[in-house]
Amino acid sequence: MLFYMTLEQAEDGWIVAECPALPGCVSQGKDEREAIENIKEAITAWLWAEDQKAVFL
pLDDT score recorded for residue 53: 87
pLDDT score recorded for residue 47: 96
Q: What is the pLDDT of residues 1-57, one digit of tens each?
A: 899 999 999 999 999 999 999 999 999 999 999 999 999 999 999 999 999 887 766
Neighbours of 19 (CB within 10 A): 19
**N- to C-terminal Cα separation, the chain:** 26
Instruction: Region of 24 please: left (phi>0), alpha (psi -120 to 50) or beta.
Output: left
Query: What predicted TM-score, i.e. pTM, was given to this entire model?
Result: 0.88
Strands (E) located in 1-57? 6-9, 15-18, 26-29
Q: Cα 14–40–20 angle (5° rounding)? A: 75
